[in-house]
Structure 1
Amino acid sequence: MSEYRHLVRKWVKPEDLNQHDALFGGRLLQWVDEEAAIVAVTQLGTIDIVTRHMSAIDFVSRAGRGDLLELEYRVVAFGRTSVTLSCRVENAVTGQDVLRLDTLVFVAVDRDGKPAEHGMTAPTPGTERIRDVAAAVR
Structure 2
Amino acid sequence: MKQQNKTNGYDLIVITGPTATGKTRLAAELADMMNGEVISADSRQVYKGMDIGTGKDLADYLVNGRVVPVHLVDMAEPGYEFNVFEFQNHFIQAYEHIRKRGKQAFMCGGTGLYIEAALAKYRLLKVPENNKLRKELE
TM-score, with length taken from structure 1? 0.29
Greater per-residue strand proportion: 1
